[in-house]
Structure 1
Amino acid sequence: MVLCIACYPPRRTCHDPIDIPSHAAPGPHGPARRPPRRRGTRGGVRLRRARAVGHGPRGRALARAARARAVRAGVVAVDPRPPGSATTRGPAVTRPTFRAESLGYRVNDLARLLAHALRDRIAPFGVVPGQFPQLLALYEEDGLTQAELCRRVRVEQPTMANTLSRMERDGLVTRAPDPADGRRSLVHLTVRARMIEDDLVSAASSVNVDATRGVEQERLSTFMAVLAELVDNLEGRPAASPSVADGGSTP
Structure 2
Amino acid sequence: MTAPTPLIAGNWKMNGLTASLAEARAISEGVSGAKARVAICPPAVLIHQMSQALAGGPVLIGGQDAHTDESGAFTGDVSAEMLADAGASMVILGHSERRDGYRETDELVARKSLAALRAGLEPIVCVGETLEQRKAGQALEVVTGQVRASLPPELLGKAFAIAYEPVWAIGTGLTPSIDEIEEVHLAIRATLIEMFGDAADKAPILYGGSVKPANAAEILHAAEVGGALVGGASLKAADFLGIVRAL
TM-score bracket relative to the smaller structure: under 0.3
Higher Rg: 1
TM-score (norm 2): 0.20
Structure with the higher fraction of residues in helix conformation:
1
Greater relative contact order structure (CA < 8 Å, 6+ sep): 2
TM-score (norm 1): 0.19
Structure with the higher fraction of residues in strand conformation:
2
